[in-house]
Structure 1
Amino acid sequence: MEKRLEQLREEYKSVPIPKELDSIVEKALQHKPKKKRIVMWPTSAAVAAAVLFTAVVNINPDAAQAMSKIPVIGKVVQAITFVEMKEEKNQSSIDVKTPALSGLSNHELEDSINRHYMKESKELYREFMKATSKSKKGHLSIYSDYETVTDTSDLISVRRDIEKTQASSYTQSRYITIDKKNEAVLTLKSLFKDDRYIKVISQNIKEQMKKQMKEDPNKIYWVEEDDMTEPFKSIHADQNFYITDQHKLFISFDEYEVAPGYMGVTEFKIPTSVISKLLVGDRYIR
C-alpha cells in the first residue's frame, strides 16, 4: 500500500492538468471506459512541489483504505480525502482538504473530476501565498472541506465548501452529482426537456423567499426592487444543485448571492410537483 501511495505521488507530480474540465468530461461521456491505470491528482511539477513541500501534506488513512479497494470487483464509488494542506504564515492560515472520487470504472472521467478538485486547491494555495508575501500584511484565513450529502445505489452528490475570511467572511459551496451506474456527471440542464425549467424554478424560489420572510422577520432575501441591492431575478442555467437520497432537487446559492452575508449559503427544495412535467424522466427526481 505504501508503494502504491508513493506511485500516486509521483504521478501527481508528473502529469499536466488540462485547461478545461468540461471538455474532458464531455469527451469521457462520449466514449466507453478503457482499462488503464488510475492517475490521481495530476498537476504541474512546480506547483506539485509547492503543495507537497511548502504545505503540510497528509495521506488520510481512510483514503489509503479506500484506494486499497479500487482494484477489486464490486468497487464502491465514494469521495475520499487524498491531500490536506495546513500552514500558518504572517498572521494568515490555510486548511484545505482536497477530495477525490474513487471507484469509477471510467478512469478518464474520475481523473478529470479529481484534477478539477486539485486545480481548485492550487488556486487557494496561490491566493494564500500571495497574501503572505513580503508586500502583504496577511490576515487571510482559507478553509475548505467537503461532505458526501447523497450516497445511494444510483447517485452520489459531493459538496465542497470554501470559506475565506479577511475582514469579512465569504462562503461558497460547490456540488457534483454523479450517476454511478451510467458513470455520468449530471448537470441541471440535463435533468429537463428544455430551458423552461429556469423560469419555473426561479418563480418557485421567489415564492419561497417571500413566504419565509413573511413567517420569519429575521430572514431577508433580495427579491424586491431596492436602491441598495440587485434583486434576484433568475437562476443560472447551470445553477448549483444537488439531489437528495429521497430524489428531491435542491438549488443552492453562495453567501451574498441572493441574501445578506448573515444568511450564509442558502438552499431551496424545489417541489417535484412544480417541475414534474418538465423532467426528462423520474430516474433522479420524483
Structure 2
Amino acid sequence: MKDERLRKMNQEYHEIPIPAELRNRVEAGIREAKKDMATENQTTTATTEKKRKPVKKKNKMIAFVKTAGGAVAAAVIAITVMANSGANIAHAMAKIPVIGAIAEVVTFREYQDSTNQMYADVKVPEVEVKNEDGIVNQESTDAINQSIQEYTDEIIAQYQADVEAADGQGYQAVDLDYQVITDSERLFSIRFDKLVIMASGEETVKIYHIDKKTGELINLSGIFKEGVNYIDPISENIREQMKEQMAADENVTYWLDSDTPEWDFKSITADTTFYINEEGRLVIVFDEGEVAPMSMGSVEFTIPTEVIQDIVQDGFIK
C-alpha cells in the first residue's frame, strides 16, 4: 500500500507541466550533485582525512552555470536535518539496539509549483521520536517537527516572494530533498539537500540532531561531557588543518593570519554546524564565505578522534 502511494506520488510529480529547458537544467544539476555525494561516500578512511579540494568543486559548479546559459547561475545549497526515508530504513532501524529513544520519519508532504520558468519542489518530512517503551515522546517530536516546519516554510515563502517580485518571469528552480546522514546507536541526524538555480549562488549547511539516549534535539555541545573545554582543542586542530591545506595547495585559502584580522577564523561555538560521518568521526562544517573566500564554497574539517576522545560522551564517535 505504501509502495503504491509512493509510486502514485512519483507519477504525479513527473506529470507536472514544467518548461522542458528548465527541467533539463534542474535534473542535470541534481544528477551531478547526487553523483558527487555517491563518490564521496565511497572514499576510503584515509581520503576522508582531507576534504576534496574545494576549488575543483567550485569549478564543477561554474561549468554547470555555463551549461545552463548566461542568464542563469547555479547555487548548490546543502542543508542538513536528519531523517529516515522509507519502509526499508524504518525496518532496519527497528533492529537497532535502543538506548533510550528511537527516531524515524513517519510521513512527508510535498510543496510543488511551476510558474513559467520558476519551479519549486520542497519535501517536508515529519519525524516521530519514541521512548524505549515505544510511547511517542510528544515534546521531542513536536520540537523537531516545528524546527523543520519553520525552516521549510521559510524556503517556500522566499520562493513565493521571488515569483511575485519577478512577476513569474524570472529564472529560478528550488529542489529540496532529505535523507538520513547519521543513524547510530546514540545519534539520529536528518539531512536536507537543496539545489537552487537562480541569479546568484551560495552554499550553506543545516543539520538537526537527536540524542537517542534522551530523545532531545542537541547542538555541538550536546555530544561532549558536561563542563569540559571542547572549543579550544577543536579550534586549534582546525587552524592546523587550514595551515596544512594552504601549504599543500596554493589554490586553497582560509581567513587565517590575514591582512583583515576581523575576518580571521578564531574559534568554533556551541552552535557550530557538525555531523558524525560514516567512520564515526566528528566533522565540523562552515558555510560559504564564513572562514574562506566564497570561491571555496562550504568547507569541512574532520577532527581526529584523539583530539576529543577523552572529552566526548560515550556512543557518539568511534
User: Is 2:278 the counterpart of 1:252?
Assistant: no
Rounded to whole Å, the distance in 1 between the matches of 2:163 and 2:302 is: 40
Deviations 1:28-81 (A, max 9, x none): xxxxxxxxxxxxxxxxxxxxxxxxxxxxxxxxx947x969x99xxx99632466
Answer whether contact 2:255 2:263 (CA < 8 A) is retained: yes
Which residue in 1 is equivalent to 2:122?
A: 96
1:138: how far off?
Answer: 3.4
1:207: how far off?
Answer: 0.9
Which residue in 1 is equivalent to 2:182?
A: 150
Deviations 1:258-280 (A, max 9, x none): 2233433221111121123333x
1:111-260 pair list within 5 angstroms: 111-133=142-164, 138-190=170-222, 191-194=224-227, 196-227=229-260, 230-260=263-293
Give the CA RMSD over aligned residues: 3.4
Q: Which has the larger share of helix?
A: 2
Rounded to whole Å, the distance in 2 between the matches of 1:199 and 1:252 is: 16
- The correspondence for 2:112, drawn from 86, 90, 94, is 86
Q: Which runs of 4+ in 1 moved over 4 A?
A: 134-137
1:168: how far off?
Answer: 1.9
Task: Give 2:123's aligned amino acid.
Answer: K
Matched residue of 2:206: which SS?
A: strand
Scaled by the length of structure 2, the TM-score of the pair is 0.60
Scaled by the length of structure 1, the TM-score of the pair is 0.66
Higher RCO (CA-CA < 8 Å; seq separation 6+):
2
Matched residue of 1:169: which SS?
A: coil
Query: Any gaps of 5 or more consecutive residues in structure 1?
Result: 6-60
Which residue in 2 is equivalent to 1:266?
A: 299
Which residue in 1 is equivalent to 2:317?
A: 285
Deviations 1:103-142 (A, max 9, x none): 5231221122112111111111111111111565533433
Matched residue of 1:113: which SS?
A: helix
Answer whether contact 1:222 1:229 (CA < 8 A) is retained: no
Which residue in 2 is equivalent to 1:44?
A: none
Query: Any gaps of 5 or more consecutive residues in structure 2?
Result: 6-84, 131-135
Matched residue count: 225
Rounded to whole Å, the distance in 1 between the matches of 2:177 and 2:129 is: 21
